[in-house]
Amino acid sequence: YMLFTIPAGAGRSRPEDIPEHFLSQWQHIENTEYMHSAVQRSYSMATAAGGKELVFTVRYQPQATDAPSPGIGSSFLCNLKPGEIIAAEGPFGDFQRQPGAQRKLCFIGGGAGMAPLRALMQEELNDTASRPIIFFYGARNRHELLYYDEFMQHQQRGELTFIPVLSKPEKACLWQQDVGFVHEIAGKWLQSQSVDAYDFYLCGPPSMLSATLTMLKEHGVDETRIRYDDFGS
C-alpha cells in the first residue's frame, strides 16, 4: 500500500463532476463545504509492480447522517483533477504473492479489497509459470462489481475462473449468477476440493474477512496457506 498525506484545507461533501449515470446515488447528499486538518491515509495499489503508473481503487466514503463530514481521504482523492500533485510514500506492507509453490491459488475478496487482489493476480498472470487461479468476489449489487468486464475477459481467455457474488442484487439487473455472501459461496465450492491443493489470499471489509477466515478454518485449511490484508487493523 501507499501512504498518502492529505493537506489541511476545505473539502466538499459531494465529489465534483459526478458521471451522469451516478447522479441519482448522490441526490440525497447536500453539497456542503467543510474544513479538515491534515491527515494520512493508506490505500492499496490495484496494479502489479513494475508498471509506469499506479492505480488505486478508492471507495468514496460519503457523509453519514451523524457525521460532520465525509471520509477526508477518499473525498480529497476523488476530487483531484488531472495534473494536481499529492504527496505519497511507499510501497509498504507484506501482503505479497508467494511465487514458486506448486499449489493453485484461490482469491476471496469484497468491496475495495479488490485492489490488492487484482495486483497479485496481475503479477501471477504475468509470470511465465502462472498457476491456476479461482477468484471469488462479493459486492452488494451489480453497480459495485469492480472490474467485472475485465475479469470476465480473463475468464473467457482461460486465464482464471471468476465467481462474482451479489448479496443484494437489484431485480432490474436480472442477475443470474451466485447470490449470497461471498464466503458462503466459496465454502460450498471448497467442499468438493482438496484444501491442501490451494493457497488462499483474502481481502475485504472486516466482517467479510472474519467470516472467510472462520470458514477456511472450519474446512481444515492450514493457517500457513492463508494470507490476507486486514483493512480493519
Per-residue pLDDT band for 232 (boundaries 50, 70, 90) equals low
Quick: pLDDT tens for 69-84.
668 888 888 888 889 9
Separation of alpha carbons 206 and 145, rounded Å: 18
The CATH 3.40.50.80 domain(s) of the chain lie at 104-230
Whose CA is closest to 110, among 173, 172, 57?
57
Q: Quick check: 233 pLDDT over 80?
A: no
% of the chain beyond a pLDDT of 90: 55
CATH 2.40.30.10 location in the chain: 2-89
Fold for the domain defined by 104-230 = Rossmann fold (3.40.50)
Handedness of CA 118, 54, 145, 71 (dihedral sign): positive
**Residue 46's pLDDT band (boundaries 50, 70, 90)?**
very high
Residue 14 — very low, low, confident or very high, per pLDDT cuts 50/70/90?
confident
Burial of 96 from C-beta contacts in 10 A (0-12 / 13-18 / 19+): middle
Look at residue 177 in the predicted model and tell me its pLDDT: 87
Out of 19-28, 85-94, 106-115, 150-159, least confident range? 19-28
Instruction: Please name the residue that has the C-alpha cell 500500500.
Output: 1
Domain 2-89 in this protein, CATH class = mainly beta
Q: Contact at 8 Å (CB) between 44 and 77? A: no
Does pLDDT of 119 surpass 80? yes
Q: Return mean pLDDT, the chain.
A: 88
pLDDT at residue 231 tops 80: no
pLDDT tier for residue 65 given thresholds of 50, 70 and 90: low
Q: What percent of the chain has pLDDT over 70?
A: 94
Report the range of poorest mean pLDDT among 109-118, 123-132, 181-190: 123-132
